Structure 1
Amino acid sequence: MKKVALVTGACGGIGQAIVRRLHAEGWDVALNGFNTQESGSQAALELTGAIYIDADVSSSAEAQRMVQETVTHFGRLDAVINNAGVAKQIPHADLDAVDDEFWDFIMAVNLKGPWNIARAARAHLAQTRGQIINNASLAGLVPSGSSIPYAVSKAGLLHLTQLLAKSLGPEIRVNAVAPGYIDTPLTHDWAELREYVAENAPAKRLGSPEDVAEVVHGLLQMDYVTGTTIPVAGGLQLL
């Protein structure tokens, strides 16, 4: 029987790359998005055996439904990739530009979302000795990022990763990836940052969604790694 992965935020650049990589490696995949029914369903149709589930990760009830639909359809769950996330460019010095609505929204999706999914999936993952992989950010490791709320949400996600690894082991491994600048449709127009990364990152190139997917796939094969965060940033964390 094929292993099964649930990938949230599967309609974006990084999510699509993760889904395609896992499918190519022989996994069955449940794609999740929110209010992306048309594009999500089309993406699932292009991958034999995949399904799409439209659900809001910030809702614990929706997270529970998403996990249950995945298990009902495939009969098991081996991995959850918490990739869903939101971001908006706000200068860090402009504290007044961050209103309550934005703060609550970004925490609900970026931090509460992975928590909701972990709780909903833990019993199923324990049965398969599976893994949770959280897509965090280099902004969670160093004081950077598109906004202060974004960076705080990702720092919290990295700490959540460690706490869950301690709490859910040994049956479930919990790890994280921390991308730096990744060239996606969302970030493609961030010209100043693109130029900085290309010139200053030790890797001397921009990151791609496939770079993140490569690390996610690698972590899924590492049975003795848990509570770990792997930067996917071309060495930007060294600057």
Structure 2
Amino acid sequence: MTGHRRSALVTGAARRVGAHLARRLAARGYVLHLHAHTGDLESTAADLRREFDVPVSVHRLDLRDTDAVRKWAQAVRRGEDPPTLVVNNASRFPGPHAITDIGPLTEGMLVHLVTATVLLEALPDAGGHAVNMLDARLPLLDGERPGYELSKQALAHQTLLAAKRLAPKVRVNAISPGLLLPSPGCGEDGLARLALRRSPQHRTARLDDVAAALLFLENATSVTGQVIHVDAGEHLGAVENT
């Protein structure tokens, strides 16, 4: 086992934010354990191996299966290049639903909260670091997707609790991104209009800034229990022009 190499496990790494974070970590020489449930993860991994000459392993897993997640965490910890960094990026973002609809809440809790908690078992006894991906709009609950909002709120609280309980051996932090990329049915123009309404800076956040926040948290070893908003001020709420 080559434990001296920095190694990161990234969930939801096939596309969008997860793929970008994986790329930035590969550029820094990290050995990568990349997870996806769907998507072309193999092509992402092959591109990173070719461009950065780093080992990249691919893991297909449904994060709603807690037993499978626990077995995976134990396996990567025992295997070659066990992760010293876990990035909990995978997310379930359902359509609007009633607060009494338990399905989205159950799935959200499993994918966001339970997975992030179980994957702490993948980290070493000392020197490990977990980073949870939250959402800039959590302070501005709108209730359209209670399963998503409640489970991400729970993950935010887990960040603080785990940071306290696992110190000084393991650090736990979080990044709370704002609008970054167009969603299906919303192009670049639509995203820009949405950012104009939501963000005090009247623009979207930048993927490179999210990656920079991750690298800051990884390298600032005295930082734990912190949530960094990378959102052009979106968590503050819309500000009228004066």
Do the two structures share a fold, i.e. TM-score over 0.5?
yes
The aligned counterpart of 2:167 is 169
Query: Secondary structure of the residue that 1:53 maps to in structure 2?
Result: strand
The aligned counterpart of 2:240 is none
> Could you tell me which of 64, 72, 78 is aligned with 2:70?
64
Query: Secondary structure of the residue that 2:33 maps to in structure 1?
Result: strand
> Could you tell me which of 84, 87, 91 is aligned with 2:90?
84
| 1:230 positional shift | 0.8
Higher relative contact order structure (alpha carbons within 8 Å, sequence separation ≥ 6): 1
Give the gaps of 5 or more residues in structure 2. Answer: 50-54, 238-242
Q: Where in structure 2 are the equivalents of 1:186-201 lying within 5 Å?
A: 186=184, 188-189=186-187, 194-201=192-199
CA distance in 1, matches of 2:185, 2:164: 34
Question: Which has the larger displacement, 211-220 or 15-24?
Answer: 211-220
Structure 2 CA distance for partners of 1:46 and 1:116, relative to 1, 3 Å = same
Structure 2 CA distance for partners of 1:187 and 1:64, relative to 1, 3 Å = farther
Query: Structure 1 length normalisation: TM-score?
Result: 0.85
| 1:15 positional shift | 0.3
CA distance in 1, matches of 2:192, 2:146: 20
What amino acid is the match of 2:64?
S
CA distance in 1, matches of 2:13, 2:213: 16
What amino acid is the match of 1:11?
A
Query: Secondary structure of the residue that 1:47 maps to in structure 2?
Result: helix
| 1:28 positional shift | 0.9
Structure 2 CA distance for partners of 1:78 and 1:145, relative to 1, 3 Å = farther
Please say if residues 105 and 150 of structure 2, whose CA atoms lie closer than 8 Å, have aligned partners that are also in contact.
Answer: no
Query: Secondary structure of the residue that 1:14 maps to in structure 2?
Result: helix
The aligned counterpart of 2:117 is 115
Structure 2 CA distance for partners of 1:7 and 1:173, relative to 1, 3 Å = same
Structure 2 CA distance for partners of 1:125 and 1:188, relative to 1, 3 Å = farther
> Could you tell me which of 14, 17, 20 is aligned with 1:14?
17
Q: How many residues align?
A: 229
Q: CA-atom RMSD, angstroms?
A: 2.4
Deviations 1:147-199 (A, max 9, x none): 12211111110000001001111010000111121214558459766413135
Give the gaps of 5 or more residues in structure 1. Answer: none
The aligned counterpart of 1:42 is 43
CA distance in 2, matches of 1:146, 1:73: 42
Q: Where in structure 2 are the equivalents of 1:1-239 lying within 5 Å?
A: 1-36=4-39, 39-48=40-49, 49-90=55-96, 95=98, 99-118=101-120, 120-121=121-122, 124-127=123-126, 129-144=127-142, 147-186=145-184, 188-189=186-187, 194-239=192-237
CA distance in 1, matches of 2:185, 2:235: 19
Deviations 1:96-151 (A, max 9, x none): 7x622222222221222212212x22xx3324x12000001123333247612211
CA distance in 2, matches of 1:53, 1:226: 28
Please say if residues 5 and 81 of structure 2, whose CA atoms lie closer than 8 Å, have aligned partners that are also in contact.
Answer: no
Query: Secondary structure of the residue that 1:44 maps to in structure 2?
Result: helix
Please say if residues 181 and 194 of structure 1, whose CA atoms lie closer than 8 Å, have aligned partners that are also in contact.
Answer: no
What amino acid is the match of 1:198?
L
| 1:24 positional shift | 0.5
Task: After the TM superposition, list the runs of 4 or more consecutive aligned residues in structure 1 that deviate by more than 6 angstroms.
Answer: none
What amino acid is the match of 2:60?
D
What amino acid is the match of 1:126?
D
Please say if residues 110 and 154 of structure 1, whose CA atoms lie closer than 8 Å, have aligned partners that are also in contact.
Answer: yes
CA distance in 2, matches of 1:134, 1:172: 14
CA distance in 2, matches of 1:207, 1:144: 21
